[in-house]
Amino acid sequence: MIGTIADLEVGDTGVIEKLCLENIPLKLLEMGCLPGKEVKLIQKAPMKDPLYIKVNGSYLAIRKETAEKITVVLAK
């Protein structure tokens, strides 16, 4: 199943397939959010935004609008 990080449910894991470069801060790439890396959705903030993810060993919070720009393949 293909979707974006924003489509993940808490506890789901996905593998990053593609990033929309124009809308992703370079900083996020530098923190290891790169194609081929595994992303786990750890927690959603109370109003379902931002999202708390684990990627490349880092624990990060990103906003939903950024998460929507990162395509992942859901690992079942």
Nearer to other proteins, 15 or 42 (CB): 42
Contact indicator for 51, 67 with CB cutoff of 8 Å: yes
Residue 75 touching other proteins (CB under 8 A): no
Residue 21 touching other proteins (CB under 8 A): yes
Within 38-67, the residues that bind other proteins by CB under 8 A are: 42-43, 45-50, 52, 56-63, 65-66
Rounded to 5°, the CA angle 34-69-61 comes to: 70
Contact indicator for 41, 9 with CB cutoff of 8 Å: yes
Residue 15 touching other proteins (CB under 8 A): no
